[in-house]
Structure 1
Amino acid sequence: MISIRKATQADSQLVQGIYHRAILGHCLGTYSPKIIRQWTQPVRPIMFEHLVEQYVYIAVEDQEPVGISCYNSQSEYLNGIYIEPRYMGSGIGKMLLQHQENLLISQGKIEIELRVTLNAVPFYRHLGYSFISESISKIPLQDEIIYSHMIKSLHRKSTQNQRLVLLQMSAA
């Protein structure tokens, strides 16, 4: 059974490990080995511990951490879902994403934006996210990395009502 819990500072090494293994396991075919090496450089522990406690949730199966989600409430961006490579395709990413979406809905948010790796676009599209644009980042990398900027409305009822109104208007 999968449970999801808020990360603590004590989880920072565990979170960094999942992050690195997920990138190494899922992004190598999409990005160059040089980019992957730069991307997975260790982060300063003090800075990382603070970020983990503020922004990270951990998916746990049978007491084993198997994935993380990172949401920055200040920028209102989902920074990513990272799954241990051997658990890819098991539904854990979807569970983490739905958990994050439910938290945002409870806070009154109406949409969620994210930047995702190019290899993750099909996953997010399948779950209702729309492509906006590509963006380039150099932080914390030395080289540029291309991401996809995506968005999703969190108010499904209002979106459905808007569609009905548009259909009614076009029928008139």
Structure 2
Amino acid sequence: MLEIKRATPEDADRAFEIRREAIRSQCIGAYSAEQMALWTRGRASDGYSILMEKLFYLGWVNGEAVVTGMLDLANNELGALFVRSAFTGRGYGKAMLDHLEDVARQRAVAEVVLDSTLNAVSFYRACGYVGHEQAVYRSPAGLVLACVPMVKKLAQNSSAAGDQSECLVT
């Protein structure tokens, strides 16, 4: 069972390692070895840890953090959706995406956007995201990656209320 909890500043290193592992194992073929090395260098304290101040979540299975995800309300943007390679294909990425969309709905966000990595476009399309044009993502650290900007209109759920800091997903 997956338990999704709001991340704390103490979770930054753990979240960064999930990100690093996911990129190195799941982006092979979509990006060059040089791009992946640049993308995964450093430590959480190099700037990634600041994301814990946003609506950043970790998904846990039997006490192990296995998936991350974030909602940036300033831009209505979903991001940092990474799943440990040993846990892919079990629905944990979809569960985190559903959770982030629910959090957005609770805050009356009508539409969310994201920049999909090339290897994840089919996943997001299967989840109702639309976007076809390839673009270039430029990170603050100077990383340049091809991506596909995508968007999804969220149906509003009138029963959603308040901030869920935890949820259980089977």
TM-score (norm 1): 0.84
Over the matched positions of the two proteins, sequence identity in percent amounts to 27
Largest Rg, 1 or 2: 1
Which segments of structure 1 move beyond 3 Å, counting only runs of 4 or more? Answer: 140-143
Higher RCO (CA-CA < 8 Å; seq separation 6+): 2
1:94 aligns with 2:94: yes
Partner of 2:168: none
Deviations 1:79-135 (A, max 9, x none): 231000011110000000000001111111111110010110010111111115322
Partner of 1:9: 9
Work out the CA distance in 1 between the residues paired with 2:12 and 2:156. 34
Cα drift, residue 8 of structure 1? 0.3
Structure 1: any 5+ residue segments left out of the alignment?
A: 158-172
Distance 1:43 1:76, change over 3 A: farther
Aligned CA RMSD, in angstroms, stands at: 1.8
- Structure number with higher helix proportion: 1
Cα drift, residue 22 of structure 1? 0.5
> Number of matched residues?
157
1:19 aligns with 2:9: no
Partner of 2:80: 80
TM-score (norm 2): 0.85
Of 70-79 and 110-119, deviating more is 70-79
Partner of 2:56: 56
Partner of 2:69: 69
Deviations 1:9-52 (A, max 9, x none): 00010000000001001001210000000000114617433322
Preserved CA contact (<8 Å) 2:39 2:143: no
